[in-house]
Structures are given as structure tokens and as C-alpha cells.
Amino acid sequence: MANVLDKIFVHKKEELGSTKRKAPLSEIKGRIGQQADAQDIRQALEPGSQYRIIAEIKKRTPFKGELRPDFDGLSIARDYSQNGAAAISVLTESNYFGGSIEFLSQVREAVKTPLLRKDFIFDPYQVYESRAFGGDFFLLIATWLDKNQLEDLLELGKEIGMTALVETHCERDMEKAFSAGGFLLGINNRDLKTGKTDLDISRRLIKMAKMVPDNLLVCESGIHSAKEIQELEQLGAQAFLIGESLMKADSIPEKLAELTGNKSKER
């Protein structure tokens, strides 16, 4: 029986054919020329006086359903940008997460904060598309991609001035990311096949990731408090991708201030 991750990629493959017919690659490449250069994500996530949060915008998930009854994506983007997010993750997958590539472009027009195009990427067209619609970096899921795919997509990203966040969930994924030459490494505490989260994933894999120097480590999912961020940072994580706890917060600015360690700042 296919798991959720497999189902998402199957639907993504079906959808991509239609997308390519509507907007040929030549058109997408032409649109890239209209974009400013991609921002340097390593610089954006460098250690500073507060925790580096990649704050995520997502309307729903296949595991939790709708996350925010009063969802207003552009308002959320502005809240993130104005309240200390180092970068913003934009879910663009439509069938399961309620996003769109057009929304990435709208967020790009609304804020100057670096943007992660978060989707289920497996085809070069999607990398070009990420840049064409204003993304500064993009997600690659090592669990689903083989080493050659990772290498090719990472290299294409470099050619057009983009960094890939290579997401891992186990030792095998981490070895694949090392072999492919990724330096921006995500450790996803959520099993995308089941939806279960476990911070012990990061506690275990951070040690492995630190074996290769100059990696930039991003802990993803299942993080709800500054205390958890502090623990993971002490272990070696340098940035934190957080979505659900922000999306469900009564006050996004207050929750983001708490998570960045900037709670005392006047607003």
C-alpha cells in the first residue's frame, strides 16, 4: 500500500505534465531573467543574537487538515518578515497542502525576506520554476530521491544561483546528502510516510551531520518551544524550520518572538 509521501509524488508527477504544457520551460527560463539575484541563504542563517527561524506558511497538511481557520497567507508572510524570521518557507504543493507556485510569487512581492520554495521536487523544470517565481532556495527530499537525482538537482540549483535544502530523516538519507555534495542539510523530525514527529531524530542525526565540516544544519518539524530550540542548538543545529506551532498560534508575532528568543523586544 502506498504511503502518503509516495501518493504526493505520484500526484505531483501527474500534475507536472499539465504544468509544462501550460508554461513551457522556455517561458519559465525567460521569467528568471526578470528576477533579482537569489539571496545568500548561508548568510541569512549565520549565527546572531537570536535563533534563526525559517518560518513556514502552510494552509493545511495531510496529517492535521486545516491549520488556521482565518488563514491569510500574505498577512502571515508580513508577520514573519516583520518579527524576526531569518527566512520564510512557502508550501507550494496544491493537492495536500493547499499551496500554489503563484502564491510564492505573491509572497516575493510582499516581503524581502529570503524564501524557501517547499514542494516535492524531482524534475529540473521545478528548480527553474522555483527561481522564476521568486524562490531563493528550494527543498530536495533525500528519502524519495536517489543520489544521482540529488546531485543533478543540486548542481542545477548552483548553475542558476540557488541553494538546495537537502532534507533527511535517517542515516541513509544523510549519507546520500553527503555523497551528493549538499551543505545545507535539513533533519526532518516528521516521518513523511506516517506524519509522526520525534525530536530524537534530530538528537541522533545532528551528531552524524557534524562529522562533515562546514555543513549548515536545519532542524525541521515538531518544534514548539524556545527550550527545545536551545537544546538542539547546543547539540549543533544552526537553524530551525517551524510551521505548525506558528500556524496554530493565537498571535503569530508573539509566538515568533518567543521562538527567536526575542520575546522582550517592544512591538
The one-character DSSP state at 111 is -
The one-character DSSP state at 207 is H
Q: Which long-range contacts (CB under 8 A, 24 or more apart) does 201-205 make?
A: 201/169, 201/170, 202/232, 202/235, 202/237, 203/232, 203/235, 205/168, 205/170, 205/171, 205/174
How far apart are alpha carbons 203 and 187 in whole angstroms?
10
Whether residue 203 contacts residue 236, with contact meaning beta carbons closer than 8 Å, is answered with no
The residues annotated with a catalytic role in the active site are 56, 58, 118, 167, 188, 220-221
Q: Give me the residues paired with residue 203 across strands.
A: none
Q: What is the pTM (predicted TM-score) of this model? A: 0.94
Which residues, in sequence order, are CB contacts of 20 under 8 Å at separation 6+?
A: 125
Residue 49 is predicted with a pLDDT of 59
Whether residue 74 contacts residue 90, with contact meaning beta carbons closer than 8 Å, is answered with no
Consecutive 10-residue runs of the chain (267 residues): their mean pLDDT?
Answer: 81 93 96 93 81 95 90 97 96 95 97 97 98 98 94 97 96 94 94 87 94 91 94 95 95 95 53
Query: Letter for the amino acid at 52?
Result: R
Residue 263 is predicted with a pLDDT of 57
Residue 240 is predicted with a pLDDT of 97
Whether residue 174 contacts residue 158, with contact meaning beta carbons closer than 8 Å, is answered with no
Residue 212 is predicted with a pLDDT of 85
Which residues, in sequence order, are CB contacts of 83 under 8 Å at separation 6+?
A: 252, 253, 256, 257, 260, 262, 267
Superfamily of segment(s) 4-260: Aldolase class I (3.20.20.70)
Query: Letter for the amino acid at 188?
Result: N
